Chain A
């Protein structure tokens, strides 16, 4: 099911950091496509998708919401300090760098 949880997530985070470093200081921009996420109004749908489980990977513009585990997508490559909103669970998030150098999020209440 698309709602399955985060196995493999660490590897994805590492992949993301590596991709970020390779990209240097230039931020990549992304054209988002609708990935079938139907839990928010149409105009917001392409900014979210379900985590597909083993075999899924996060793009450099994607991160998992710690509250509801939906994948949040941005039109920009993510960097520490970026603010994101998870509309499915109404959380405000801040992108931060974890101790291992990967990107993660903190919930901003």
Chain B
């Protein structure tokens, strides 16, 4: 029998452990210690051709918009978080999101983009910008349930699916960066589903409103996802289905 067995923890001990900064420190240490700005130190990779490079720049610019939305939303949610576990977890998410933005901006510069901020505004996907605006409205309105749903279920599931799909076709340097990001996203989407799941169990009357928010956001998310895949030049017949994981989460939460 192992001295440490996570499955033997009391529920309170488990929640205390996984929502702590200490857990986060030791978790990210496992996959970020040998990386600099998300890249494996010393690794060199061939340059991309012009078309691939341009497509990748568009994709990364839109990743930056998604990560900026997540950075601003997660930091804005801390003051309205209903308990200390959520506040502490969101603080770890804030630094994760800032790191994602940092590594994507760094990758853009590696690709020769001198002024990423201007490039992002030129290449911004309007559906994603509309999603970000709506998310920030929910945060500004101190609407915890809707904002956590929009950020940690909708946005994070989309990113988790999109990044993993992209990793399988990306150039090695971009794949290295995405690898660390995907590992962070697992925590974020898990937090969202579990926090909302607990609250919906206690307050099932909230389901109807969240289902309405979901219908409102679905179009923006699906359109963004399609367009990101277009920018990556993915063959339509071989595209990853965003629906499967997203709809699974929606079904588990009873928001269909």
Interface check B187, CB cutoff 8 A: yes
| Structural contact, B248 and A66, CB atoms closer than 8 A | yes
Question: Within 8 Å CB of A46, what residues of B?
Answer: 2
Q: In whole Å, how far is B169's beta carbon from the nearest beta carbon of chain A?
A: 11
Q: Which of A42, A45, A87 neighbours the largest number of chain B CB atoms within 10 Å of its CB?
A: A87
Q: In whole Å, how far is A31's beta carbon from the nearest beta carbon of chain B?
A: 9
Within 8 A of B (CB), among A1-52: 1, 3-4, 29, 32, 38-47
- Knowing A32-B2, A67-B189, say if A83 contacts B27 (CB, 8 Å): no
Question: Within 8 Å CB of B17, what residues of A?
Answer: 87
Interface size on A, residues (CB 8 A): 34
A85 to B9, CA, bound (A): 9
| Structural contact, B182 and A3, CB atoms closer than 8 A | yes
| Structural contact, A39 and B26, CB atoms closer than 8 A | no
| Structural contact, A75 and B190, CB atoms closer than 8 A | no
* The residue from B9, B27, B189, B197 contacting A41, defined by CB atoms under 8 A apart: B27
Within 8 A of A (CB), among B60-94: none
Q: In whole Å, how far is B22's beta carbon from the nearest beta carbon of chain A?
A: 8
* The residue from B164, B191, B198 contacting A109, defined by CB atoms under 8 A apart: B198
Q: In whole Å, how far is B125's beta carbon from the nearest beta carbon of chain A?
A: 25
**CB < 8 Å A-B pair total:** 97
A32 to B182, CA, bound (A): 25
Question: Within 8 Å CB of B223, what residues of A?
Answer: none
Interface check B209, CB cutoff 8 A: no
Residue of B nearest to A41 (CB): B26
Interface check A84, CB cutoff 8 A: yes
Residue of A nearest to B4 (CB): A43
| Structural contact, A90 and B197, CB atoms closer than 8 A | no
Question: Within 8 Å CB of B9, what residues of A?
Answer: 85
Residue of A nearest to B14 (CB): A85
Q: In whole Å, how far is B200's beta carbon from the nearest beta carbon of chain A?
A: 7
Question: Within 8 Å CB of B197, what residues of A?
Answer: 107, 109
Interface check A92, CB cutoff 8 A: yes
Question: Within 8 Å CB of B237, what residues of A?
Answer: none
* The residue from B7, B187, B248, B249 contacting A85, defined by CB atoms under 8 A apart: B7
A100 to B167, CA, bound (A): 34
- Knowing A1-B167, A3-B164, A66-B248, say if A41 contacts B7 (CB, 8 Å): no
Residue of B nearest to A47 (CB): B6
Question: Within 8 Å CB of A91, what residues of B?
Answer: 190, 193-194
Q: In whole Å, how far is A36's beta carbon from the nearest beta carbon of chain B?
A: 10
| Structural contact, A75 and B187, CB atoms closer than 8 A | no
Question: Within 8 Å CB of A68, what residues of B?
Answer: 186, 189-190
Within 8 A of B (CB), among A66-82: 66-68, 70, 74-75, 82
A-B contact pairs, 28 of them (CB 8 A): A29-B1, A38-B31, A39-B186, A41-B23, A41-B26, A41-B29, A41-B30, A43-B4, A44-B4, A47-B5, A47-B7, A66-B248, A67-B193, A67-B252, A70-B186, A75-B2, A85-B6, A87-B23, A88-B183, A89-B189, A89-B191, A90-B18, A90-B190, A90-B191, A91-B193, A107-B197, A107-B252, A109-B201
